[in-house]
């Protein structure tokens, strides 16, 4: 037997606040409006360090020296290459997934890369091989996303430029032009802030799959499947859709009241964990405001007015903007099309997933919870046929 009945413990629906594992990678302190990667504030890292430095921190436990950073960047560049057999498959994948979940093509492409690379189960690898797999998957992910995006639009994909950093290379591939320093800095801040955020659904999924000893790409593929769910991913584009629907400042009140009356959700406001302002939103508001222009000014006006209205319509619930609201504004200002918002989030979060996968694989224990049966009493004799 897997367990004795009297050892079962009932837990809240959705496992809310249930501690399912120990981690050294970071934590979210929702009531404080704070989260961190290892011992450092995630927002401070996003503001003051590069994406690669935060990546190195999660993977190896330390911020890199100049020499270590150069060596790490070289490993990332080396991991960007798409195997020729996979490159030949990408047009077909783009056609198959046209109009579908934007992450569906990435799941297929990553599985193909893993097969082409001869990836082995985590169970059969040592720590160095697992780390190499983690860098490879996280490095090639944005390249695959940019290729699939270009192919879906009937364009020839732009190859990444080795001399560009991870974020700039991705932005160059997606937009087809070299990003400005402001665009690179703003997108780097967003992507660094999106690397990890506690035991969310996709991270937990990745760890469960990793606990079985499966290959790393399979664990990432499972995380991508979880991220595809509307309750987990996709909100940045929906937040901008809301701005489009509102249209002008004089329609804010009417739109919000109508949406709430119809039982709809005002996208970009409220968070399952934070009971104060989302620290990521606070930071990205500053990057958005620096771009200026009518679109940004309108977003700032919506962000100011909507909480006032929600306080009237939903008294007792303090709702602030979450990361998705200004993330959408920042990505739009950087030239990223709306269809690539969630893929851009995935290109950042894959670094966090792979770090969690490595931590779970090192533990060597399969995740095997129990469920309390609440169906008809058993056993019941089988009825006679006929």
Point out the residues that are catalytic.
Answer: 271, 324
Positive or negative, the CA dihedral 271, 44, 21, 344 is: positive
Give Cα 222 to chain centroid, integer Å.
13
> CB neighbours (10 Å) of residue 263?
6
Q: How far apart are CA 62 and CA 84, in angstroms?
A: 35
In the chain the first and final C-alpha atoms are separated, in Å, by 35
Distances 33 to 42, 281, 320 between C-alpha atoms, Å:
12, 10, 11
The answer to whether residues 110 and 51 touch, using CB atoms and an 8 Å cutoff, is no
Q: Give the residue from 318, 303, 314, 317 showing the smallest Cα distance to 242.
A: 303
């Amino acid at each position: 037997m897997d367990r004795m009945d009297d050892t079962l413990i009932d837990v809240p629906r959705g496992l809310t606040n249930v501690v399912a594992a120990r981690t050294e990678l970071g934590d979210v302190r929702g009531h404080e409006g704070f989260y961190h990667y290892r011992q450092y504030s995630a927002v401070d890292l996003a503001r003051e360090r590069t994406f690669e430095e935060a990546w190195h921190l999660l993977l190896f436990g330390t911020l890199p020296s100049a020499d270590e950073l150069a060596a790490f960047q070289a490993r990332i560049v080396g991991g960007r290459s798409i195997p020729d057999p996979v490159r030949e498959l990408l047009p077909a994948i783009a056609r198959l997934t046209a109009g579908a979940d934007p992450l569906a093509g990435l799941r297929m492409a990553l599985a193909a890369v893993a097969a082409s690379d001869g990836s082995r189960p985590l169970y059969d690898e040592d720590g160095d091989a697992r780390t190499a797999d983690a860098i490879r998957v996280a490095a090639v992910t944005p390249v695959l996303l940019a290729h699939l995006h270009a192919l879906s639009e009937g364009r020839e994909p732009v190859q990444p430029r080795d001399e560009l950093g991870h974020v700039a290379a991705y932005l160059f591939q997606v937009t087809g032009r070299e990003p400005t320093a402001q665009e690179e800095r703003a997108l780097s801040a967003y992507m660094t802030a999106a690397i990890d955020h506690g035991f969310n659904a996709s991270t937990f999924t990745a760890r469960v799959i990793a606990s079985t000893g499966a290959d790393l790409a399979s664990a990432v593929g499972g995380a991508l499947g979880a991220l595809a769910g509307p309750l987990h991913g996709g909100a940045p584009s929906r937040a901008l859709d809301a701005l489009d629907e509102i249209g002008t400042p004089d329609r804010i009140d009417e739109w919000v009241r109508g949406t709430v009356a119809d039982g709809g959700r005002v996208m970009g406001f409220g968070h399952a964990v934070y009971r104060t302002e989302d620290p990521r939103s606070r930071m990205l508001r500053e990057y958005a405001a620096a771009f200026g222009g009518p679109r940004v000014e309108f977003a700032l006006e919506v962000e100011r007015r909507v909480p006032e209205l929600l306080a009237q319509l939903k008294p007792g619930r303090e709702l602030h903007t979450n990361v998705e609201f200004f993330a959408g504004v920042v990505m739009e200002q950087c030239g990223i099309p709306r269809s690539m918002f969630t893929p851009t989030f995935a290109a950042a979060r894959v670094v966090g997933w792979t770090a969690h996968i490595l931590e779970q694989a090192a533990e060597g224990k399969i995740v095997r919870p129990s469920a309390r049966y609440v169906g008809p009493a058993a056993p019941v004799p089988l009825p006679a046929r006929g």
